Structure 1
C-alpha cells in the first residue's frame, strides 16, 4: 500500500511517498514540487501538474495534507490557502481519501509531543523509515504526514 503526504506551499510544496508492507514502512520518494512561475494561476497549475505525475507514478491509496496555521502575513496565508485548494482538488479528482492534519497534531503524532522542533521530526521520521534523509523541512513534514496517513483508517 502506498501513502502520500503533502506539506503545501506556493513556490515549493513538500511531498513524501511511502510504502507499507507487512507493517513496515519504506521511503519511496520525497522532495519538493517547485515552480518558477510568478502568476497565481501558473503557480497552481505547476503544483497540480507535478502532483498528478506523482499520483500516476505511485498510485497512493490515501493522502495526508497539512492544514494552515495562523499566519501574521495575510498575503502568504492566502497564497498557501490557494495552493492547498489546488492540491485538495487534485487529490479529490483522483478519488484518493484525504486526511487533514494541523502542525501540532503532526508533531504530537510523529514525535509524541506537540512542541517538537524540525530536528525532532527529522530524527523520528528517519527512525521510523529506517533511513537518513537530506530532504528539506517541507519534504520531511510531508513524509511525517504520509506516515500518519498510513496509520489512519481513512481508506
Structure 2
C-alpha cells in the first residue's frame, strides 16, 4: 500500500492531493490548496509553499510524492516563477525523506482522462469519478489529485 502526495505547483496557488493506492485500487485521503500571499515578496511566497507542503506531509504521512513538471510557457518570466515554486515543493518533499517522481502535463492528462490534450474540466470530472468524490474539487486540487493518480498508474505498471 502506498500513500501518494500529488502536487500541482504554482507561484500563487499550489494544489495538493493525497491518495492511497493498493493493488490497483485508489482511494481519496485529502486535497486542497496552498495559497501564497500575493502582497509578499516572491522569496517569502516560496517559503509559504515550502511550509505548506511540509505541513501537508506532516499531517498525511505520504510515502511518495509526484509533481507536475514545468511546461513550456509562452512567458519566460512565468515559467521561471513556476519552476521556483516547483523547486520549493520538491525540496519540502525531499527534506521529509520522500522519493519525488516527475510527470509531464500530457502524461498526467493521458493517465486520468485518456487524452493528453484534455481540458481542465475533463480532468476535474475524471478525478471526481475515479475517486468517487461527492463534489468537484477545485481545479488546482483536482490537478494535484490527477498527478497522484498518474503516479499510482505508472507505479503499478
| TM-score normalised over the length of structure 1 | 0.91
Q: Distance in 1 between matches of 2:135 and 2:144?
A: 13
CA contact under 8 A between 2:17 and 2:148: conserved in structure 1?
yes
**Residue deviations 1:2-54, cap 9 Å, x none?**
11100000111010011234543221111111021521211011111111111
Partner of 2:33: 32
Question: Residue 127 of structure 1 aligns with which residue?
Answer: 129
Cα shift readout 1:103-128 (whole Å, capped 9, x = no counterpart):
11111111111121112212211121
Partner of 1:45: 47
Identify the structure with bigger relative contact order (alpha carbons < 8 Å, sequence gap 6+): 1
The whole-number CA distance in structure 2 between the counterparts of 1:98 and 1:27 is 20
Deviation at 1:152, TM superposition (A): 3.3
Scaled by the length of structure 2, the TM-score of the pair is 0.90
Q: For residue 8 of structure 1, what is the aligned residue in structure 2?
A: 9
Q: Which 5+ residue runs of structure 2 have no aligned equivalent?
A: none
Matched, 1:105 2:107: yes
Q: Which 5+ residue runs of structure 1 have no aligned equivalent?
A: none
Contact 2:8–2:68 under 8 Å retained in 1: yes
